[in-house]
Amino acid sequence: MSAPDLEPIAEFILKHHEWWNGDGYPLKLKGNDIPLECRILSIADAYDAMTSDRPYRKALSHKEAIAEIKKFSGIQFDPELVEIFIELLGLNTWVWF
């Protein structure tokens, strides 16, 4: 709320840390109680974070990031959206080097 330009999406930003199983934060929302936009954002944000270099670690490959997202499907991420995300990126058929 401190950035007026982001006010229309502030709720989505806040709630994208919620986990599908209810173990996230700040509100401990679970499953479909988490707004759809937040469930989508959480997957995209996690993928982006994992595939980007950080000062404390090198980026994961796309294949490694997808494996990690699949690992947390049904725990951190909406399992239906994980499958859609992977399909949309075509990552089931890509060859990684």
Domain boundaries, the chain: 4-89
Query: Given CA atoms 18, 19, 20, 22 in this order, what sign does their dihedral have?
Result: negative
CATH node for 4-89: 1.10.3210.10
**Strand partners for 73:** 77
Structure tokens given for 60: 């994961």
Structure tokens given for 96: 């990684």
- Model confidence, pTM: 0.84
Structure tokens given for 83: 């499958």
Could you give the angle at which helices 79-89 and 62-71 cross, rounded to 10 degrees?
160
Structure tokens given for 28: 């401990």
Q: Going residue by residue through the chain (97 aa), what tens digit of pLDDT does each one get?
A: 678 898 888 889 889 999 999 999 999 999 999 999 999 999 999 999 999 999 999 999 999 999 999 999 999 999 999 999 999 887 555 444 4
Distances (CA, A) of 79 to 20, 49, 60, 74: 8, 19, 21, 5
